[in-house]
Amino acid sequence: MQKFKVLYLFLFILISAISFEGHASSIEFPEEELATDTVLPKFDNQTMVKNRYVNTKERFEIQGGMGFNLTEALYNNKSFHLGLGYNFTETHAVQLVGMFMMEGLSENGEALKRGEGIFGSLDAELAPHVEQMVLLDYQFTAWYGKISITKNTIWHMSLYGLLGASYVGFTDSSTVALNVGFGQKFYLTRNLALKTDFRFHFYQGPNPASSDQALETGSQPVSSDDLDSILYVPTILQVGLMFIF
């Protein structure tokens, strides 16, 4: 009798397993309920930046500050600038900037003027040089965000690219230039920001080293027509304050 009970129990387990396997193999799900590309949540209304602290759309900007020509060898590499900009949207803007170079020679230029060069003296002030630039730039803001250096301080900032054309004024002539670069704004308040621009400029201009008269110290100044033309690619860093209104 005990053997029959064990046999019945074994047959019950076997039939149940076969029946479960048959049901499991026939389970189907609608295709629209199956995951395909992603399981991440999707939202109809996406907000790139929540609680934006500084809104620049349809606002003007006034800027001013100092500039440094990082690749200048002969002349004073410092300048000051003033500018006016307008923001069409939070992303697109234009700006007009006037740059005014400071007079004088660099340390290397002064050394050459004293005759410390291997080819004798060279007074670069006797050759035409850049005195001012007027730039018209398109500005594309690629990113706006916030960073926290300390637990109690939040910096609002933006990164942008620059592309434009400019007028370059030499002592006795002028030319046009192209410039490209990028910049960053650190917003101190809703209306005041610390602004930094880094640009590469491309233009043709007179080359002081090409003078037949050698620009010796004490000789007469030469004009742009007396010199060969050369491609200049100065790298200029500008730092200043910007007021938004």
For residue 19, the SS3 value is helix
78 Cβ contact partners less than 8 Å away, ≥ 6 residues apart = 66, 67, 68, 69, 101, 102
pLDDT number for residue 41: 56
- How far apart, in whole angstroms, are the C-alpha atoms of residue 222 and residue 228? 12
Domain spans, the chain: 60-244
Q: What are phi and psi of 34, to 5 degrees?
A: -90, 145
- pLDDT tens profile 2-25: 555 555 566 666 566 555 444 445
Distance (Å) of CA 76 to CA 59, 65, 167, 180: 35, 16, 20, 22
pLDDT number for residue 234: 97
Digits of tens for pLDDT over the chain (245 positions)? 555 555 556 666 656 655 544 444 556 666 665 555 555 555 555 554 556 788 999 999 999 999 999 999 999 999 999 999 999 999 999 999 999 999 999 999 999 898 887 767 889 999 999 999 999 999 999 999 888 777 677 889 999 999 999 999 999 999 999 999 999 999 999 999 999 999 999 999 999 888 756 688 888 889 998 899 999 999 999 999 999 99
3-state SS string over 79-132? Answer: EEEEEEEEECCCCEEEEEEEEEECCCECHHHHHHHCCCECCECCCHHHCCCEEE
Element (H, E) at 13: helix 2-25
- Assigned architecture for domain 60-244: Beta Barrel (2.40)
- pLDDT tens profile 178-197: 999 999 999 999 999 999 99
Neighbour tally for 56: CB within 10 Å: 24
Distance (Å) of CA 222 to CA 134, 160, 168, 227, 230: 25, 41, 19, 8, 16
Neighbour tally for 51: CB within 10 Å: 6
- How far apart, in whole angstroms, are the C-alpha atoms of residue 48 and residue 56? 15
For 56, the token pair is 């620049």
What does the radius of gyration of the chain's CA atoms come to, in whole angstroms? 35
For residue 243, the SS3 value is strand
DSSP string for residues in 197-242? EEEEEEEEEE-GGG-TTTT-TTS----GGGS-EEEE--EEEEEEEE
pLDDT number for residue 231: 96
- How far apart, in whole angstroms, are the C-alpha atoms of residue 235 and residue 179? 10
Q: Which residue has the tokens 């002081």?
A: 208
